[in-house]
Amino acid sequence: MYINRRFYENYVSTRDVELLHEYSLKILKEIGVSFASEEVLDVFRKHGATVEGNIVKISEELLNKALETAPKSFTITTNAGETPIGERFKPKTVGCYGPSKFLFEDDTFRPALLPDVVKFLKLMHTSEVTDFVNNSAYDTPDLDKNQDNFYIPQVALCLKYSDKPSYGNVANSLNVKKKSLKDAAKEIATMYKEFYDIWDRPVLLTNACALSPLGYSYEVLDNIMGLIEEGQPVTIITCSMTNLTAPAALMGSVIQNNATVLAGIVLTQLIKPGVGVIYGTVSSPTDMRKTAIMIGAPEAQLIQMSSLALGRYYGLPVRTGVGGTDSLKPDYQAGVETMTTLLTTYLGKSDFALNNAGILQSYAVGSYEKFVLDEEVNRILLRLNKGIDISNEKASKVFEEIKKAGPLGNYLAGRTPKEYRDEHHLSKIFNKTAGDPSVLFDEIGDIRQRAAKQIEERVESYKAPDLTKKQQDILNRYLPESEKF
């Protein structure tokens, strides 16, 4: 069992949640949400929503109906097993997602290429704190962009390099030509079903980002419809920025995001009642000095804690995070901000976090070094969350030990006891040694050098999943030329 340390409850009260809900309803009823798809507008019309142009106004009744059918939890099934998502389960995580450039171990920033994406897949696959894999940098320059669909080749890489479940991006009108994005989404879902030979359950989870304020693009809606018709769950998120695409006050972001995400969730349940959907936000404050997003700022966590409280109020699985930083390098700032951005997920216990490791400069840059360093932050938070063992049995035992040692005695005797191993997290990458700092630094090296060494070891020891001939044949239909079996 994963204990919910209820981090957000100390910031957002039940009364706050009720007020946030009240005003979100007001937005849904009086302002409405824009949906850029005739097919979607028809769905809303058919179910009695008010449709004015592209704007859909949603009543409390329609919302409640959708919230009744949206499940509290759902499970992604792959050949490797089941991954349940929801309040009763440990938060699930995805590694590096979506940057176009990487900061490499030689300290240069360069556009990521397919071999880099493969290397990242190997790190995610071998990570004990990352549950889902993703094709990290997408639409890399070395893909054959004359293909009608150069999105699905990238997705197929996930299945080649890892038997962990995949967390998908949506196909877009740049990487898919000559067919609708809805069909492209269906094709992806079908590839997974065929690959796993699992046809009747969710096998894939995909991220669908709304526009802010209060809108959904044609591209995202097409993907949502395609995936849901194939019985595949989606995460609906917003990524509003204060004072740009949301009001200046944080509360404005929260109610606007909530109304936006709820409208998307209503849509999923109108298309297929009972389909899994994650309620999410990665809304952030804006630095108005340079008009830049600040994903690592404390305000982002305050917005996310409010969203988490709302998601819990609706009984939905909730995505928080990203975990990440606005820094350009895996430096002091990156450490502070990665710890900050993962607090809500791990201590407030959301159900899902994207980019739990490996990104820099908000969403713009991926980094292997940061991935293995961020893993340590995940481990620290998991340890902190585990808490302290205070029990009658332990009390009697330690009292006897203290009595035996006596005042000014010592405890160092023979083998390190089981309690020590049970209750101590020992870092494999952070320095914990005492001694002359100059000598020691020469010995252990810079933390980025240590990270680079771990990356090398991880990539070397990586073992590809065993695939059947049939699975290889399926992937060969999709994989980039250079990656075919």
Nearest-approach distance from CB 140 to a copy of itself, in angstroms: 17
Three-state secondary structure call for residue 320:
strand
Nearest-approach distance from CB 56 to a copy of itself, in angstroms: 9
| Nearest partner of 53 among 66, 44, 62, judged by Cα | 44
Secondary structure, 3-state, 382-432: HHHHHCCCCCHHHHHHHHHHHHHHCCCCCCCCCCCCHHHHHHCCCCCCCCC
Output 403 or 463, the one with its CB closest to a copy of itself. 403
Cα distance from N-terminal residue to C-terminal residue, the chain: 40
Nearest-approach distance from CB 238 to a copy of itself, in angstroms: 12
Three-state secondary structure call for residue 228:
helix
Output 145 or 425, the one with its CB closest to a copy of itself. 425
Output 28 or 152, the one with its CB closest to a copy of itself. 28
Token pair for 83: 């991954």
Q: Phi-psi region for residue 37, left (φ > 0), alpha (ψ -120 to 50) or beta?
A: beta
DSSP string, 146-176: TSSB-SHHHHHHHHHH-SSPBEEPPP-TTTB
Nearest-approach distance from CB 168 to a copy of itself, in angstroms: 25
Output 34 or 93, the one with its CB closest to a copy of itself. 34
Output 361 or 454, the one with its CB closest to a copy of itself. 361
Q: Which residues of 13-45 are buried (b: 16+ CB within 10 A; e: fewer)?
A: eeeebeebbebbbebbbeebbbbbbeebbebbe
- Angle at which helix 250-271 crosses helix 14-26, to 10 degrees, equals 70
Token pair for 79: 């050949």
Nearest-approach distance from CB 190 to a copy of itself, in angstroms: 33
Nearest-approach distance from CB 143 to a copy of itself, in angstroms: 22
> What whole-number distance in Å separates Cα of residue 33 and Cα of residue 255?
13
Output 23 or 462, the one with its CB closest to a copy of itself. 23
Match 């820094």 to its residue by tokens.
327
Output 199 or 399, the one with its CB closest to a copy of itself. 399
Nearest-approach distance from CB 5 to a copy of itself, in angstroms: 4
Burial class of residue 125, CB neighbours in 10 A (0-12, 13-18, 19+): buried
DSSP classification of residue 6: -
Nearest-approach distance from CB 11 to a copy of itself, in angstroms: 5
Output 204 or 297, the one with its CB closest to a copy of itself. 297
Output 422 or 481, the one with its CB closest to a copy of itself. 422
Nearest-approach distance from CB 366 to a copy of itself, in angstroms: 11
DSSP classification of residue 28: I
Contact 235, 319 (CB under 8 A): yes
| β-pair type (101-103, 109-111) | antiparallel
Residue 82 host element (H or E): strand 81-86
Output 159 or 208, the one with its CB closest to a copy of itself. 208
Nearest-approach distance from CB 166 to a copy of itself, in angstroms: 27
DSSP classification of residue 369: H
Nearest-approach distance from CB 459 to a copy of itself, in angstroms: 20
Output 247 or 315, the one with its CB closest to a copy of itself. 247
Q: Which residues of 178-210 are buried (b: 16+ CB within 10 A; e: fewer)?
A: eebbbebbbbbbebbbebbeeeeebbbbbbbbb
